[in-house]
């Protein structure tokens, strides 16, 4: 029998919205063939469930909970903001946060199998939308302080883990990170591939200036430095006090950042465009 990875199960769940064990079983029976597994699930789960669960779930909420010095963050997706504001959906978020914070060493897949998945399926039936517990994360175990920020719309959240400093500093930096969405904590964390791609863009732009090659090279170097300062958390101007950088705030408080976690609802999810008229006709014909 083909070994089925957690990532395969996750991908099938996101495509179908069906249960964890159903997806795992379907993949095993299809020898890991994702398309075949989808077809089999549609046959066994019924047209109604398939249509409901195949719709894109790119809305939803971010939830954050702090417990015993550690912070946890969860993203749960649904299809519309209307459902995201439903009391049942919010109660489900609280239940998931409680489960995650009480089982801090378990993966999302393990937590789903432990009971979250059953509750999710019942909520799907109640609210009539595809609902997905998409991802979980937590602050670093070795942090002296963790700071959290959840935007007022519950769509953006961030957790910062510090060595040294204070809880207040950690909270301020978490708020800053939520607002600016840095690519990395330090400039040295930016991959060379990303830097090389930026260089190619800047080179093409600078060469059009008609300046000598040595001047063009200096222009490119300057633009790369500016790029790294804009996308690296420590080099950004602090949103609460633009006269200092985040690095200054850290130095003033004898602190260093050892962890950054930032979630924004729906980021990276490809939203399916539905032809409403065709969908209505297909249901009539069906």
What does the DSSP assignment read for 218-272? Answer: HHHHHHHHHHHHHHBGGGSEETTEEEEEHHHHHHHTTEEEEEEEEEETTTTPPPP
272-275 CB contacts, 8 Å cutoff, 24+ apart: 272/54, 272/55, 272/56, 274/55
Cα distance between residue 166 and residue 65, in whole Å: 19
- Say if CB 88 and CB 61 are below 8 A apart: no
- Say if CB 231 and CB 103 are below 8 A apart: no
pLDDT value at residue 280: 55
For residue 49, pLDDT beyond 50: no
- For the residues 6-22, what does the mean pLDDT come to? 76
Q: Do 59-180+259-264 and 6-54 fall under one CATH topology? A: no
pLDDT value at residue 225: 92
Q: Does domain 6-54 have CATH number 3.20.20.140?
A: no
Least reliable range by pLDDT among 35-49, 171-185, 257-271: 35-49
The CATH classification number of 59-180+259-264 equals 3.30.479.20
Segments making up each domain of the chain, as ranges: 6-54, 59-180+259-264, 187-253
Q: What percent of the chain has pLDDT over 70?
A: 87
Cα distance between residue 286 and residue 284, in whole Å: 5
| pTM, two decimal places | 0.76
Strand order in the sheet with 156-164: 145-150, 156-164, 255-264
For residue 110, pLDDT beyond 60: yes
pLDDT value at residue 56: 73
- The predicted-structure confidence for 193-211, as pLDDT tens digits, reads as follows 999 998 888 888 777 777 7
Q: Identify the CA nearest to 36 among candidates 60, 4, 77.
A: 4
Decide: helix, strand or coil at residue 151: coil
Q: What is the CB-side half-sphere exposure of residue 133 using CA atoms within 13 A?
A: 32
Decide: helix, strand or coil at residue 110: helix
| Backbone φ/ψ region at 155: left (φ over 0), alpha (ψ -120 to 50), beta | alpha
Cα distance between residue 81 and residue 174, in whole Å: 25
- The predicted-structure confidence for 161-178, as pLDDT tens digits, reads as follows 999 999 999 999 999 999
What is the Cα 266 distance to its own chain's centre? 7
Cα distance between residue 247 and residue 225, in whole Å: 16
């Amino acid at each position: 029998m083909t070994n089925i990875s957690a990532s395969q199960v996750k991908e099938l769940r996101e495509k179908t919205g069906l249960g964890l064990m159903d997806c795992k079983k379907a993949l095993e029976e299809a020898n890991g063939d994702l398309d075949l597994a989808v077809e089999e699930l549609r046959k066994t789960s019924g047209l109604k469930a398939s249509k409901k669960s195949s719709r894109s779930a790119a809305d939803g909420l971010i939830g954050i909970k702090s417990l015993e010095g550690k912070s946890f963050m969860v993203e749960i997706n649904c299809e519309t903001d209307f459902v995201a504001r439903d009391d049942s959906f919010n109660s489900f978020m609280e239940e998931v946060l409680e489960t995650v914070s009480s089982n801090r060493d378990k993966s999302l897949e393990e937590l789903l199998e432990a009971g979250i998945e059953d509750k999710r399926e019942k909520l799907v039936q109640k609210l009539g939308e595809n609902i997905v517990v998409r991802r979980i994360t937590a602050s670093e175990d070795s942090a002296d302080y963790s700071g959290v920020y959840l935007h007022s719309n519950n769509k953006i959240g961030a957790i910062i883990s510090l060595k040294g400093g204070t809880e207040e500093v950690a909270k301020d930096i978490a708020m800053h990170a939520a607002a600016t969405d840095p690519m990395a904590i330090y400039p040295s964390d930016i991959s060379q591939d990303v830097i090389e791609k930026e260089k190619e863009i800047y080179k093409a732009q600078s060469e059009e200036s008609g300046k000598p090659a040595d001047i063009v090279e200096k222009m490119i170097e300057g633009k790369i430095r500016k790029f790294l300062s804009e996308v690296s958390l420590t080099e950004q101007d602090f949103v609460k006090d633009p006269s200092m950088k985040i690095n200054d705030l850290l130095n003033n408080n004898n602190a260093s950042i050892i962890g950054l976690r930032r979630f924004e609802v729906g980021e990276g999810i490809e939203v399916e465009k539905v032809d409403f008229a065709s969908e209505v006709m297909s249901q009539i014909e069906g």
